[in-house]
Amino acid sequence: MSGKRGNREGSMYPYKDGWAAYVWVTTPSGALKRKYVTSKDRDKCHAKWIELQAKAAKGPVDTDVESVGQYAHYWLEELVKPNLTPGTYDNYARWVRLQIEPGIGSRRLDKLRVRDIQVWLNKVAGTCQCCYQGKDSARAEDKRQCCAIGKCCKQLYTKSSLQGLRRALRAMLGCAVVDEKLDKNLGSLTKITAQRKHKTRRRRWSSEDARKFLVSARVDEDRYYLAFVFILVYGMRRGEALGFSDDEIDLARDRLEVAWQIQRVGTELLRREVKTEDSEDYLPLLGICRAAVELRYRQRDKERQEAGNAWHESGLVITTPLGSVKDPRNFLRDWYYRCDKAGVPRISIRDARRTCASILADLDVHPRIAMRILRHSKITVTMEVYTKVSDEATITALKRLETELG
């Protein structure tokens, strides 16, 4: 018969002031189930029906109705946690908890549209996070200073933070496409909008400031003097400077092996491989660094003897007074204390890394050599992100130009 439907094609029929259709499909578990589509318009419903038939002919089709929030939890625990770094998992989990789940978590994953995501992202961009997350309200009543007392501080996400949120969403929806929950990655079709803020000028030390800082730490025999040297001489990251064991420091050959870092993930302190493969490298042990290493070894022996049974052997060179792993967050407080003690401006450790790169630039060190010292994977990162030409070098160049022009 010419009008007879084929096997498993299903049926289309009027339904609640519109139309509905179903197709028999094989689920990923192997079961045979009906999969439904609906629309107010007959032609649209028919198009969906034909599309569903094509999907059923290609392979298994999932019939479970899953929310964005439910899929987000599956994605975090089954895909991100076993396969990516703990830091990446912690970052994605924070975005899911703070924004994705409360914002679009209740929506059906198969009904999610680009418009829904874009409207939600725009709302996040314009929302004060102090109000939304109750940061000021969480303070003691006598210490509340803004949103909790009606003086909104307008703590908006920066564009880079919004890009981080979009990146997490895009990663999740990309996995949903692979899992055949979605036909395309809707997160890739959205745009980020954010209020333009006054650009904060990155600060860096002069060579004299860096020297004063290190001299102050050396004279006081600061427990973290070696870490300070690593940061300013080699431009190391905070976790890298704290992650050395005795095995990575070779005094016989005057060589350092940069391979490990200390990283806080949630409530845990982990000793993990460095950020990228390009970050892992050997560096020559300079005289100032060798002297700092020998000082640290003497300090550690003395601390171990004084601590006695309270000593926790971590196998690391730079530790707390009791031998345990030094928390990078707490190390930042020691850094700022030493800035104040040395009488130099407070800058972040990341800006100290920039200081190292900028001093190398002022000394006319070839960019490729600076890239090796800082262990960047791309030369553009060395030149554009970390290296800032000093005011002194700029003035010198302009004076040379002035002389040339007469």
Q: In whole angstroms, what is the distance from residue 322 CA to residue 320 CA? A: 5
- Fold classified for 207-398: hpI Integrase; Chain A (1.10.443)
Sequence spans of domains, the chain = 11-58, 68-189, 207-398
Helix locations, 59-126, DSSP H: 68-74, 81-83, 86-95, 101-104, 114-125
- pLDDT tens-place string over residues 134-166: 888 888 888 888 988 888 998 899 888 899 999
Residues shown for the chain: 406
Average pLDDT of 244-250?
Answer: 89
Q: Which residue has the higher pLDDT, 47 or 267?
A: 47
Burial of 301 (C-beta count, 10 Å sphere; 0-12/13-18/19+): exposed
Q: Please, which contacts does 255-260 make with residues 24 or more away whose CB atoms are closer than 8 Å? A: 255/282, 255/283, 255/284, 255/285, 256/282, 256/283, 256/284, 256/285, 256/289, 257/282, 258/234, 258/282, 258/283, 258/375
Residue 133: which residues within 8 A CB-CB, separation 6 or more? 98
Residue where the block lists tokens 């700092």? 292
CATH fourth-level superfamily of 68-189: Tyrosine recombinase, N-terminal domain (1.10.150.130)
- pLDDT tens-place string over residues 53-86: 888 888 777 766 788 999 999 999 999 999 988 8
Please tell me if the domain spanning 68-189 has the same topology as the one spanning 207-398.
no
Give the pLDDT confidence score for residue 207 in this predicted structure.
85
Q: Cα-Cα-Cα-Cα dihedral of 274, 276, 277, 278, to 10°?
A: -100
Residue 97 DSSP code: I
Cα 125-385-265 angle, rounded to 5 deg: 65
Residue 358 has pLDDT above 90, yes or no: no
Give the pLDDT confidence score for residue 64 in this predicted structure.
67
